[in-house]
């Protein structure tokens, strides 16, 4: 990072916290290493913050709320979000390079999806807050009107798979509604969050409205969740971590939104458009190396086209070739870490032990030079496993998918709903009535028909069952990041 000069404040390769408008190290002066997973080499150091750093950030936020930020109007806040969007856009290549180095995802993907979507999030919530309105309920002798006030300070805790995208998805509505933010990105992918802090600094955002503390989840993340002055938590990450966050935050009556894991079905009916379906299901399975909570990792196929579909699917998957994320033509990058690669590899081995047949992948690719040290794993397709097997029900969060035949719609639904998760699903059919019927019967927060991850930022986003609690997106975000209050006037 130092050689590339991508982060201005980190001239020595030491990325800093951003608290009260200042770039500062952790009080205890401790550091963590940040690695490029494609080459397993250190690219930066980040502060290993503790609860005292969270105290500073929470105090800076409280001060901002008492100051100019607390008095700001909707127009000013929307302008600020627009200014953030403009600056990120002007540094698109820098942001995409940082995201790709940190996550191992292809630069081309970060440049075309992650960063533009972060820009879109800031622009969208600038518009949304400008256009929001609240209700008025008149009675014969009284008038009720509803106002939305800031909640206070939000702790925003985000994962490593879509670092800037998910941070912007929470930061933009939190600020739009007049709250302050204490953000903690994953310790594995801290860089674009710090680049975002530079943007807030450059545009002269009021000190303390956006604060950033780096460090480990169990230390600084936990301290954010426990902090008395942090009145709301929006968390995206693993289901087990989500449970811990809820156990701490719920008795404190904090506003809480949890976006957790998934084990999402892609359901393919015989009457689908086969070519488009193969293309869409491959994308759903392996986007970002299968490390998206929405990825379709259980592929259910009607038996009459099962052989035809799986042959076409595997042929297309073989075109995904792990390679250097920094090269423009790479279509499949590294996983987030060697530890995660080992976990994914463990599931591929388990699949064989559980009686599955590996149709492609199942091993580390042979890459030369320093990429040989990287966290790569081939896209892997497994057939022949029982829908109840561990590989077919546990979240792998990597490039391993399972194929399952079904005979009837009822059977497809039984398999689809037979897991603890309920985040997303995709249904592939040309029968409109069936599309409606199946979509409504699937237990998941989101269903796509004949597509996957087609996003409209106005729609509710979130999961049911063990995939989380609450919805964000559009007015749902504006409601979550505010306190809705009713005032009744006797006439
Ligand atoms: O997530 P964690 P990890 C799933 C996926 C993956 C697994 C673990 O299955 O293999 O989760 O990934 C912070 N209090 N998803 O370990 O630990 C942590 O520092 C407060 C699905 O990376 O849940 C990071 O900032 N915060 C997911 C964030 O929580 C804590 C995306 C998420 O980390 C904390 C990523 C604590 N006690 C992984 N412990 C999705 N739904 O998109 C950790 N953190």
Walk along the chain (491 residues) and give the pLDDT tens digit of each residue: 888 889 999 988 999 999 999 999 999 999 999 999 999 999 999 999 999 999 999 999 999 999 999 999 999 999 999 999 999 999 999 999 999 999 999 999 999 999 999 999 999 999 999 999 999 999 999 999 999 999 999 999 999 999 999 999 999 999 999 999 999 999 999 999 999 999 999 999 999 999 999 999 999 999 999 999 999 999 999 999 999 999 999 999 999 999 999 999 999 999 999 999 999 999 999 999 999 999 999 999 999 999 999 999 999 999 999 999 999 899 999 999 999 999 999 999 999 999 999 999 999 999 999 999 999 999 999 999 999 999 999 999 999 999 999 999 999 999 999 999 999 999 999 999 999 999 999 999 999 999 999 999 999 999 999 999 999 999 999 999 999 999 999 99
Report pLDDT for 2: 81
User: Rounded to the nearest whole angstrom, what is the distance from the C-alpha of residue 237 to the centroid of ligand 1?
Assistant: 4
Told to judge if 259 belongs to the known catalytic residues of this protein, a careful annotator would answer yes
Retrieve residue 435's tokens: 């599309």
The residue from 50, 259, 378, 395 that is catalytic is 259
Report pLDDT for 1: 87
- Residues 339 and 345: their CA atoms lie apart, in Å, by 10
User: Rounded to the nearest whole angstrom, what is the distance from the C-alpha of residue 156 to the centroid of ligand 1?
Assistant: 12
Report pLDDT for 475: 96
DSSP string for residues in 43-57 = EEEEE---HHHHHHH
* CB of 466 shorter than 6 A to ligand 1: no
* CB of 189 shorter than 6 A to ligand 1: no
Told to judge if 293 belongs to the known catalytic residues of this protein, a careful annotator would answer yes
Report pLDDT for 59: 98
- CA distances 431 to 114, 116, 224, 346, 424, Å, are 33, 34, 48, 39, 20
Report pLDDT for 11: 83
Q: Residue count of the chain, please give it.
A: 491
* CB of 302 shorter than 6 A to ligand 1: no
Which atom of ligand 1 is closest in space to residue 261's alpha carbon? 41
User: pTM, whole model, 2 decimals?
Assistant: 0.97
Report pLDDT for 426: 98
Residue keyed to tokens 């015989």? 270
Nearest CA to ligand 1 atom 6: 238
* CB of 206 shorter than 6 A to ligand 1: no
Nearest CA to ligand 1 atom 25: 186
Which atom of ligand 1 is closest in space to residue 245's alpha carbon? 14
Report pLDDT for 455: 94
Burial class for 488, CB neighbours closer than 10 Å (0-12, 13-18, 19+): exposed
Contact in structure between 157 and 131 (CB atoms under 8 Å): no
* CB of 377 shorter than 6 A to ligand 1: no
* CB of 161 shorter than 6 A to ligand 1: yes
């Amino acid at each position: 990072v130092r050689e590339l000069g991508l982060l201005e404040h980190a001239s020595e390769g030491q990325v800093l916290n951003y608290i009260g408008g200042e770039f500062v190290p952790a009080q205890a002066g401790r550091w963590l290493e940040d690695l490029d997973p494609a080459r397993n080499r250190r690219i930066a150091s980040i502060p290993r913050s503790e609860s005292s750093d969270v105290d500073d950030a929470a105090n800076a936020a409280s001060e901002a709320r008492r100051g100019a930020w607390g008095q700001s109007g909707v127009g000013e806040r929307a302008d600020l979000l627009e200014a953030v969007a403009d600056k990120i856009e002007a540094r698109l290549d820098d942001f995409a390079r940082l995201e790709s180095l940190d996550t191992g995802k292809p630069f081309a993907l970060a440049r075309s999806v992650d960063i533009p979507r972060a820009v879109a999030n800031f622009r969208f919530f600038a518009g949304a807050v400008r256009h929001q309105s609240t209700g008025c309920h008149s009675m014969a002798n009284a008038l009720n009107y509803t106002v939305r006030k800031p909640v206070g300070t939000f702790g925003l805790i985000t994962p490593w798979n879509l670092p800037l995208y998910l941070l912007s998805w929470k930061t933009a509505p939190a600020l739009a509604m007049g709250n302050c933010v204490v953000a903690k990105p994953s310790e594995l992918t801290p860089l674009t969050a710090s680049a975002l802090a530079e943007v807030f600094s450059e545009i002269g955002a009021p000190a303390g409205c956006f604060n950033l503390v780096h460090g480990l989840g169990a230390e600084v993340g936990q301290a954010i969740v426990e902090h008395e002055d942090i009145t709301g938590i929006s968390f995206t990450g693993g289901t087990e971590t989500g449970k811990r966050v809820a156990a701490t935050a719920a008795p404190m009556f904090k506003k809480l939104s949890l976006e957790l894991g998934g084990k999402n079905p892609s359901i393919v009916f015989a009457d689908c458009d086969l070519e488009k379906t193969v293309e869409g299901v491959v994308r759903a399975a392996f986007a970002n190396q299968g490390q998206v909570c929405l990825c379709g990792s259980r592929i259910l196929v009607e038996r009459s086209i099962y052989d035809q579909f799986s042959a076409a699917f595997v042929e297309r998957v073989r075109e995904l070739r792990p390679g250097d994320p920094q090269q423009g033509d790479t279509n499949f990058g590294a996983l987030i870490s060697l530890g995660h690669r080992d976990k994914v590899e463990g599931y591929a081995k388990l699949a064989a032990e559980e009686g599955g047949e590996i149709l492609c992948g199942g091993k580390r690719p042979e890459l030369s030079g320093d990429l040989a040290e990287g966290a790569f794993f081939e896209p892997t397709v497994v057939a022949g496993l029982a829908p109840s097997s561990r590989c077919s029900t546990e979240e792998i969060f990597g490039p391993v998918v399972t194929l399952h035949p079904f005979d009837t719609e009822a059977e497809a639904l039984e398999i689809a709903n037979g897991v603890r998760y309920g985040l997303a699903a995709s249904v592939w059919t040309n029968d409109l009535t069936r599309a409606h019927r199946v979509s409504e019967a699937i237990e998941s927060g989101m269903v796509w028909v004949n597509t996957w991850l087609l996003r409209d930022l106005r729609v509710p986003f979130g999961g049911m069952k063990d995939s989380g609690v609450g919805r964000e997106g559009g007015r749902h975000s504006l409601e979550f990041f505010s306190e809705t209050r009713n005032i009744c006037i006797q006439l």
